[in-house]
Chain A
Amino acid sequence: MTAETTRLKIAGDWTERSDGWWLSTPASSVRQIARTMLAAGARFVTIVALPEPVNTMQLSWHWDIGGTLLSVVSIIAEGASVPSIVDIYPGADWAERETRDYYAVTFEGRADTQPLMLRDSDKPGVLLCQTGEKL
């Protein structure tokens, strides 16, 4: 399946940018999108978290299909949880654990919730720390 046919299968208003195609969608639909991506043979690339000014966080999930980057972006409230896609894409395991370590985002439905980069006793959200602040 091509990037174009995959986009058509995922309902929504896709926008073309210089870095690929982007879709804004609620986080609750990411599992269904992941299933469609897997069926299309898309490769999971990564998750990017971006804190926004007013207690919100932008989360984007990225896939590659035939060299085209398809990105799905959601705005969530700070401290909110989002569904995990690890059971669909095992390759998302480290990306989810790292996002929790760095920005304290909780991924629901995971069997393994161990930190990736931090120690077990560390508080998640290390990239939210200010200069001089300790975990």
Chain B
Amino acid sequence: MSYSIPIGPYHIALEEPYKIEVECEGENVVGSKLKVGFNFRGIEWLAQRKNITQSIALLERVCGICSNVHSMSFCMTLERIGNIEVPARGQHIRMIMAELERLHSHLLWAGVAAELIGFETLFMQIFRLRESVMDTLESISGNRVNYSMNRIGGVNRDLLDDAKIRQVARGIRSLTETVLIPLLTTDQTVIARCKGVGVLSREDAIAYGVVGPVARASGVDTDLRRDQPYLAYDLVEFSVPFQTGGDVLARVVVRALEIVESCKIIDQVLDRMPQGPIHAGEIYHVPAGAAALRIEAPRGEVFYYIASNGSDIPDRVKVRTPSFANIPSVAAMVKGNTIADVPLIQAALDPCYSCTDR
């Protein structure tokens, strides 16, 4: 006999509203229906009525974790339409912010996953590391969440303390390599809870169009920083970790390995940080034209499309976030698992409902 269990939209394990209606036979999940839109704010509508300078602040509020990537993508799309060249130092500062944000996002997710696995000590250790990233972001920008670093043609603030950023990145890399990765790959608690759970096959990953660490954990070797380099990613060396298991454990391992790669990138960017201006001057509008742009956000590819009519208010601003691409695949992941696995499977996706609903 089958029955259905509604989970959400308000749920104790998730701070954001989202609903999944799980169809079960006994303990086993045989189907599911997802419902989003509880946090719909009409950000695209607003961005088509505000001028582009106001919209930088607006777009930064698409997501509470990867806020920087949205203001950066918005500015970079306009820069592409206007053929605006960002000074080399501005590009390198954007990379530092992007990789610190990736560390912040991955460490936050790893902490939440550790909590859901039931590994409280690991959660504490990870959040201690995350706090050092938040402190660094605050020391650069003055803010812990919405950094206001991006402007059309560059960044608003210069880096003042390279040594501190380097020290934090090296500290995180060391602890991730010596503690976090060994724990996540060999600890029996983690393996017993995550291995073989919530499998997404490579074929399903392509059919559902999943992106970022979720795709890479299902054997899809993709990363825009390497495949279509932007900023100065073609000038630094890094690996793109990927796994073939497609399960929760694979998603855990991919993100842990990516933490190390981000630290390597930060170290190299600081080594080669050029001198010079950090932006291209005062720019308040771009010529008529349209462009799409994709950036590798912490959760995967973010897609922006802007159509400009030449004024300072664009005709169209389209934002496709990585969570929007990833969340539908939960339906394939939960099928065949037990109801007790559903919260962990959802968390392993690192979903952001604020991004999804916009």
* Bound Cα distance A50, B36 (Å): 23
Whether A116 pairs with B301 at a CB distance below 8 angstroms is no
Mask of B221-250 contacts with A, CB within 8 angstroms, 1/0: 010101110000000000000000000000
Is A18 an interface residue when CB atoms closer than 8 A count as contact?
yes
Contact residues in B for A43 (Cβ distance below 8 Å): 206, 209, 211, 215, 220, 222
* Bound Cα distance A106, B45 (Å): 20
- The stretch that binds A, out of B157-165, B251-259, B287-295, is B287-295
Q: A91-B209, A94-B324, A115-B37 are in contact. Are A67 and B42 (CB under 8 A)?
A: no
Is B1 an interface residue when CB atoms closer than 8 A count as contact?
no
**Set B211, B320, B357: member contacting A117, Cβ < 8 A:** B357
Is B208 an interface residue when CB atoms closer than 8 A count as contact?
yes
Is A1 an interface residue when CB atoms closer than 8 A count as contact?
no
Q: A41-B206, A117-B357, A131-B49 are in contact. Are A126 and B222 (CB under 8 A)?
A: no
Range of interface residues on B (Cβ < 8 Å): 35 or more
Is A89 an interface residue when CB atoms closer than 8 A count as contact?
yes
* Bound Cα distance A117, B43 (Å): 12
Is B21 an interface residue when CB atoms closer than 8 A count as contact?
no
Whether A50 pairs with B45 at a CB distance below 8 angstroms is no
Q: A45-B301, A94-B324, A117-B357 are in contact. Are A62 and B208 (CB under 8 A)?
A: no
Is A69 an interface residue when CB atoms closer than 8 A count as contact?
yes
Contact residues in B for A51 (Cβ distance below 8 Å): 315-316
Contact residues in A for B291 (Cβ distance below 8 Å): 17-19
Is B307 an interface residue when CB atoms closer than 8 A count as contact?
yes
Is A75 an interface residue when CB atoms closer than 8 A count as contact?
no
Whether B208 pairs with A127 at a CB distance below 8 angstroms is no
- B299 CB to closest chain A CB, in angstroms? 15
**Set B227, B315, B325: member contacting A91, Cβ < 8 A:** B325
Q: Is chain B's interface secondary structure helix, strand, loop, or mixed overall?
A: mixed
Listed residue (A41, A46, A92, A115) with the most chain B CB atoms within 10 angstroms of its CB: A46
Contact residues in A for B37 (Cβ distance below 8 Å): 115-119
Is A81 an interface residue when CB atoms closer than 8 A count as contact?
no
Listed residue (A17, A38, A68, A129) with the most chain B CB atoms within 10 angstroms of its CB: A17
- A7 CB to closest chain B CB, in angstroms? 16
Mask of A34-70 contacts with B, CB within 8 angstroms, 1/0: 0000100101111010110000000010101011110
Whether A48 pairs with B222 at a CB distance below 8 angstroms is no
**Set A45, A102, A115: member contacting B303, Cβ < 8 A:** A45
Whether B318 pairs with A93 at a CB distance below 8 angstroms is no
Whether B80 pairs with A91 at a CB distance below 8 angstroms is no
* Bound Cα distance A20, B293 (Å): 9
Contact residues in A for B329 (Cβ distance below 8 Å): 91
Contact residues in A for B222 (Cβ distance below 8 Å): 43, 64, 67
Whether B292 pairs with A93 at a CB distance below 8 angstroms is no
**Set A41, A66, A94, A129: member contacting B45, Cβ < 8 A:** A129
Contact residues in B for A66 (Cβ distance below 8 Å): 227
Is A71 an interface residue when CB atoms closer than 8 A count as contact?
yes
Is B9 an interface residue when CB atoms closer than 8 A count as contact?
no
- B238 CB to closest chain A CB, in angstroms? 15
Contact residues in B for A92 (Cβ distance below 8 Å): 209
Contact residues in A for B341 (Cβ distance below 8 Å): none
* Bound Cα distance A43, B329 (Å): 14
Whether B208 pairs with A67 at a CB distance below 8 angstroms is no
* Bound Cα distance A48, B318 (Å): 7
With A45-B303, A48-B316 given, can you name 4 additional A-B contacts, CB distance below 8 Å?
A38-B206, A46-B320, A50-B290, A90-B208
A to B CB contacts below 8 Å, 29 in the list: A18-B80, A19-B292, A19-B293, A38-B207, A43-B211, A45-B301, A45-B325, A48-B316, A50-B316, A51-B315, A51-B316, A62-B292, A64-B294, A67-B226, A69-B292, A69-B294, A71-B292, A89-B209, A90-B207, A90-B328, A91-B207, A92-B209, A93-B328, A94-B324, A94-B328, A116-B36, A117-B357, A127-B44, A127-B45
Residues on A facing B (Cβ under 8 Å): 17-20, 38, 41, 43-46, 48, 50-51, 60, 62, 64, 66-69, 71, 89-95, 102, 115-119, 126-127, 129, 131
Closest 9 CB pairs of A and B: A67-B227, A91-B209, A117-B37, A46-B320, A44-B209, A19-B292, A91-B208, A117-B40, A67-B228
